[in-house]
A and B are shown apart, each in its own frame.
Chain A
């Protein structure tokens, strides 16, 4: 929202410099995003006239000029090749800040001083458009038009005497969307009175009410409708000053009638609409809702389909405007218009908002109605518009206005407790201080007790309805800066503090194990979203197809990361992510949260070399067992030994050689190799291993409380055994056999060699294990161990059809 400094001055006396005003407005919450004060920027720049140009006595390329700057004639040294007598030029006087220095690499600004250039004193500077910050031309001075008057301030010459503030208006303050609204805020800052311009209209004898009728059929949606009728209007351009003002705040001038309605809108915040009176059937206005599906063409030439709750302005026969949003083409002001009916109405905010949203049509009018418009402003605005049109066109204003106001709004009164105010803000303000600061906001005390003040809320303050709203006003008026910044704080330990989470621990562990944490988008395209699951949660109103489905797994996102890194030459990847994935419990989205699954998962990915190319050792690419080892270590760390891997025949092409991970008897996720066909979709040609686990399952098994298991006091004994078995026999089967026979004495079992080859016959393999026997209560004798080993060997030979291999 653009607000003009000069325009504001119509309503309030402002002596503050724009920079100070901007800072003060930001301090009370009306944020000034930016502004350019040309009068300040070009404070010591004037129009000059080059009277004489001579050569500098000591330098060939420099000129010595006599320049008339209005009040005096200055000698100025100039280096520009294009300077000549008779020119009108921009002159910076001593003390001016030159916006850009063309001799500085960064073009930094500098302050002009009286200087001796090659022995001659120069008392100013003739500037290029680069130096002025007006353009990029640094090759010569800027030559102004001949009519420019020497001595005229340069900003004035440019017509840049105004300051335009870019205001960021918060959603609660519709009243700030006008110059009077901003002026009222300045009233709070400076205490000077803000007021609207008095309207004076010369009315004719003809009575308005005999020439037009207005009826409101929906009093809920239209709370007030004020109107004026003007005859003998001569359509034409509005005066230049008004066109300039409208343009300065970003409104395109159209004609004197439309310009006046826009001007009054920017002045008062009251949206107006002008109808061509002669096109209104029966010279009537009827405010009512549309028929469902009814069609209507708006001013912009677009046909709109209306709904049964769309409030319309109609004439005696048909709709002529969408209330509070946009007028219709059928009653538009045009060349032939001679009589005008001005609408100045107040519409229900949510009704306007619904209509604007439904039509996808947001206008200056709808934006204001949505936020709330001062209901007491309609009549003034209609009169103000009539006055201006009469002033510009000499139109005849019919006598009296029509003002349909079915239920006059009662003023709002809100009470404020002084003690409560201080209790919320942490201040110690007195009642009197509060009253005097709120008075500047036109909040008038209507009644008071020792502790409480009842304020009358002005009609333009839609946002004030209860005590906390007044407390906020007190805080703004008192100044946030003035509220003490309390540095003493009490720490409260009445509730147990959890300073770390499993997620933190997993992160730290994996980082220590050399993994890089990644974070990927949770909104994906359809293909990725459905890669790992058939049912996915979809967004009804996506911005783009790439972000329309909530991820069902962390795998597709990770594959995208692998793809990116591989395409940049990074092939050895160790990645992990912790994040939420989503799903549908039933067949389709429902309107309760129970219909959706949201669970946190951990993804771990290995790709490329696990042992990189190095001296003295062979490099080795990752295989499934590298990842399995990492996951075993991770789960062991957090869930002790309550887990196992189950081989399952993955039917999908996504994950090959898959293992299900079970923790505490519950399926917690899987690990495996990403299927070739999937990898290829992501342009990945090497092998890729992933594991995805539910964090809640790790959490359930996470042993946060730990108890010492006493260390063995007696020495353990190692024995190695190797079995030759049929290649079809799994390690797990043999290991189970060893454990079963070994009983409690067998503390540890490690597979240390796997051999396939001629020595043991085709179709066989050799599995070599290192066994550790650990007694708890005594030292084992060799005989005991031999017996133990013999039992194991017999058992394994019997159950696994194995043969002991001599070691």
Chain B
């Protein structure tokens, strides 16, 4: 009999601690504390135990009954209390206190991502002035004084020989003038072109340019580095191609294309139905440029590359009007 009482105690304790809902608690009550419950059963059985054992067992059983009832009541109380808290005293559906959400401009985000990828390859960041001299913007970069190549970049002039830089390439010259190879730098910044403003073109935009000059740098390294970048930035599965082009400060020069990441090369509006997107210009630094900064082109070779941030951001985010980037509508900014 003692053993039975203990069994019921253990079973009750187990089941009570397992009951978390009102229904489960009710089941425990019915099973143990009701008129036909397990404890009532034990009292029934008491009638048939020998009289000598009755006082001890009776005490034991009463203790069980009181303890069980007490534990049950306690549990019922806490259960209903927490329910009440949830439903009545606090409306947990109230909104959180509003906090302003800060955002990084999408152009800065794009630039930062590009910077980060090249930094992991050992590139550092260099900057230079936006008001430049003709020498840094053109002369040192092997643009002959009277040459149609200058028409590739319509220029804003400030005074004789002073202009707004048309590309970030002057920073290449400034950087190389200040240090000896190896040079491994990326150069982000604002550039200016004297063109009519439209959804597709602005008088100023951002570029990021890169330069790597050292012993033994080849066109093969150029391809490898830029493909590694493209795979990081656009995804491992993009296809790429390099096509000859012309820049006065690099030779050979190459435009880099990747397969359109929207249509996977099938052709769509974004890639103008050719399946390819031109993403940057590049080339081997022209020996004249190296000579202009006092590097011996027989000893050092290098490559340079450059891309327009607005164009890349447009492709990435599906923006089809460049002016949106400068309007700074907070509803626009907060999407990025």
Contact = CB atoms under 8 A, between A and B. Distances in A.
A120 interface: no
Given A468-B287, A483-B223, A350 B162 contact: no
A589 B157 CA distance: 11
Contact of B329 (A353, A507, A570): A570
B329 A565 contact: yes
Contact of B130 (A426, A542, A561, A580): A580
Nearest to A610: B100
Interface in A355-406: 367, 370-371
A284 interface: no
A580 B190 contact: yes
Contacts of B147: 171, 349-350, 353, 370
A507 B148 contact: no
Contact of A486 (B105, B223, B329, B330): B223
A208 to B, nearest CB: 34
A568 B162 contact: no
A407 to B, nearest CB: 20
Interface in A541-561: 541-544, 546-547, 550, 561
B333 A516 contact: yes
Nearest to B334: A516
B129 to A, nearest CB: 5
Interface residues of A, number: 97
B220 A425 contact: yes
A488 B220 CA distance: 10
Interface stretch (A25-33, A155-163, A646-654): A25-33
Contacts of B245: 29, 31, 170
B277 to A, nearest CB: 14
B243 A511 contact: no
A513 to B, nearest CB: 6
Given A538-B158, A539-B158, A593-B133, A517 B244 contact: no
Contacts of A489: 121, 221, 224-225, 228
B149 interface: yes
A501 B228 contact: no
B295 interface: no
A27 B243 contact: yes
Main secondary structure of the interface of B (DSSP, over half): mixed
Given A511-B104, A565-B330, A469 B251 contact: yes
Interface string A458-474: 00000000101101100
Interface string B233-272: 0000000011111100001111000000000000000000
A533 interface: no
Contacts of A497: 119, 122, 124
Contact of B192 (A501, A514, A523): A523
Given A468-B251, A517-B103, A492 B122 contact: yes
Report which residue of A170, A516, A572, A593 has the largest number of chain B beta carbons within 10 angstroms of its beta carbon.
A516
Given A424-B219, A591-B162, A537 B131 contact: yes
Contacts of A427: 219-220
A279 B326 CA distance: 59
A579 B214 CA distance: 32
B159 A591 contact: yes
A645 interface: no
Contacts of B246: 29, 170-173
Contact of A517 (B105, B204, B214): B105
A512 B182 contact: no
Interface in A570-585: 570, 572-575, 579-580, 582
Contact of A593 (B162, B182, B244, B334): B162
Interface in B197-236: 197, 202-204, 214, 216, 218-221, 223-225, 227-228
Contacts of A544: 196-197
A540 interface: yes
B151 interface: yes
A614 B131 contact: no
B194 interface: yes
B194 A423 contact: no
A25 to B, nearest CB: 10
A593 B244 CA distance: 35
B156 A542 contact: yes
A350 B145 contact: yes
A673 to B, nearest CB: 20
Contacts of A241: none
Given A29-B245, A539-B158, A598-B129, A564 B204 contact: no
Nearest to A508: B104
Given A517-B108, A564-B327, A612-B98, A476 B252 contact: yes
Given A541-B156, A561-B328, A593-B129, A424 B218 contact: yes
B193 to A, nearest CB: 9
A511 B103 contact: yes
B159 A590 contact: yes
B288 to A, nearest CB: 9
A123 interface: no
A469 B253 CA distance: 11
A18 to B, nearest CB: 15
Interface in B121-165: 121-122, 124-125, 129-133, 145-149, 151-152, 156-162, 164
Given A427-B220, A510-B102, A519-B108, A485 B244 contact: no
Nearest to A169: B246
Contacts of B108: 507, 517, 519
Interface string B109-121: 0001000000101
A354 interface: yes
Contacts of B121: 489, 491
Contacts of A28: 244
Nearest to B134: A591
A595 B244 CA distance: 40
B195 A543 contact: yes
A475 B252 contact: yes
Contact of A589 (B146, B149, B159, B253): B159
Given A480-B242, A593-B129, A172 B149 contact: yes
Given A350-B145, A475-B252, A486 B221 contact: yes
B68 interface: no
Contact of A547 (B132, B179, B197, B325): B197
A596 B131 contact: yes
B254 A515 contact: no
A426 B124 contact: no
A173 to B, nearest CB: 7
Contacts of B251: 468-469, 471-472
20 contacts: A171-B149, A171-B151, A172-B246, A426-B218, A426-B220, A475-B244, A480-B241, A480-B252, A507-B108, A514-B100, A515-B102, A516-B328, A519-B326, A537-B131, A564-B327, A565-B328, A573-B330, A574-B102, A598-B131, A615-B94
